[in-house]
Homo-oligomer: A and B are copies of this chain.
Amino acid sequence: MPPTQFTVEEKYTYLNGLGSYHETEAVKGALPVGQNSPQKVAHGLYAEKLSGTAFTAPRHENLQTWMYRIVPSVTHRAFQTSKIELAGYPSNGKPEYIQVPNQLRWRPFETNGDVDFISGLRLVAGAGDATVKTGLAIYIYGAGKDMAKKQAFYSADGDFLIVAQMGTLDIQTEFGRLLVRQGEIAVIPRGIRYRVELPEGASRGYVLELFQGHFQLPELGPIGSNGLANVRDFQVPVAAYEDDQSDWTITVKFGGRLFDAAQDHGPFDVVGWHGNYYPYKYDLGRFNTIGSISYDHPDPSIFTVLTAPSPVTGTAVADFVIFPRDGS
């Protein structure tokens, strides 16, 4: 089966709609009809399910995707401690944060030609603990080069919300490709493998890694059914695959530590998928800013793009909030 051949236009084609159940196939017929896991999948593909939540989560919070791939993802050698170091993490993977009452701000940080998107991550703040699925971590990145040709990464600890402050990230994922430009954000949920190139050179930005639940759009209350970030402005990759039988290294962040596993095929071999658990991107310029049109200012929660709810209604684990130019 030949790999996906894109025209330039097709390469960055997207499906629209955050939370929607999408289906996409790079080869016609890759997706079974009226069934999820037939004994024989078309083209000899393997059916796998990737779960973003408990199977028993309520429908509107349940996140699952069926993937149809060339080689089962479990086909790899054992994970070993990685050679890559995650700046800011101690060897046991459990940072001890020091809380201080003073407000801090970071100087502009440099990009570094020696590091890629992953090795250039630097932990700057956090709370909670990835191993018991509470809290989050905050990183800066300042990458100066592409990730190695045959290396992929995923975090088993949390979702990566990436804020591309400078430069462009070309992110190849198991689900397809995302081009994330300056002023855009991307979310790569827990467990999804990807590889990042820098088509326009050095890139820097922020990452919020969420250990607890997933990002979602905030409830809008009296704002009604549209406004702030709109559902249809979130973009999801179309299926794209490579049939690559060469040696790859998969690096995982697991419990705050990095591990590497070798495998004799590429991870980006998903020919089709359907479901509602996937990576996505959003152009912050599309934010529909709401504000006071009479007097006073609403609270900054009105600029919330994405929120990660806690079990306490109305209190988030994290809110991703922007201050748009046309807002007050």
Contacts and interface: CB of A to CB of B under 8 A. Distances in A.
Interface of A: 16-23, 34-38, 51, 53-62, 64, 78-79, 92-93, 96-102, 127-128, 131-132, 134-135, 156, 213, 217-228, 230-233, 252, 254-255, 257, 259, 261, 274, 283, 285-302, 304, 311-316, 324, 326-328
A301 B20 contact: no
Given A293-B326, A293-B328, A295-B288, A225 B51 contact: yes
B233 A295 contact: no
A204 B312 CA distance: 35
A132 B134 contact: yes
A62 B231 CA distance: 12
Nearest to A234: B21
A227 B294 CA distance: 10
A252 to B, nearest CB: 5
Given A16-B23, A99-B131, A223-B299, 9 more contacts: A17-B23, A21-B232, A34-B286, A35-B295, A62-B225, A227-B296, A289-B294, A290-B293, A293-B293
B128 A101 contact: no
Contact of A255 (B38, B55, B93, B99): B99
Contact of A225 (B101, B220, B290, B299): B299
